[in-house]
Amino acid sequence: MSKSLFMDLSSISEKKKGSVEFQIFNLTNRVVKLTYHFQKHGKDYSSQRGLWKILGKRKRLLTYLFKTNFVSYENLINQLGIRGLKKMNEKS
């Protein structure tokens, strides 16, 4: 499906499974799977609601990581290939 689904967990798996980085990684994989699902099932509105919830949770975790450990935040954003936070990028 996508390279994100088969991404190597080498740097993330060294950390605890409950860490913020690992949670963001799992949420990103779920987003990729759902976007693939929407290519076939475009009118699945209940799954769209779930996607919005996942995106909101990932955004909150990214905000927390940005505030607590900026270097780890930048590394994770680059590794996963996702955009950074809008408001946070304007300050940088």
What is the tens place of the pLDDT at every residue in 12-71? 656 688 999 999 999 999 999 999 999 999 999 999 999 999 999 999 999 999 999 999
Please compute the mean of the pLDDT values over residues 7-15 and round it to a whole number. Answer: 59
Task: State if pTM tops 0.75.
Answer: yes
Task: Give the three-state DSSP class for 40.
Answer: helix
Q: Domain locations in the chain?
A: 18-91
Beta strands of the chain (E only): which ranges?
none
Fold of 18-91: Helix Hairpins (1.10.287)
Task: Give the three-state DSSP class for 14.
Answer: coil
Tell me which residue of 29, 6, 12 sits closest to 65, measured CA to CA: 12
Fill in the DSSP letter of residue 4. T
pLDDT score for 9: 56
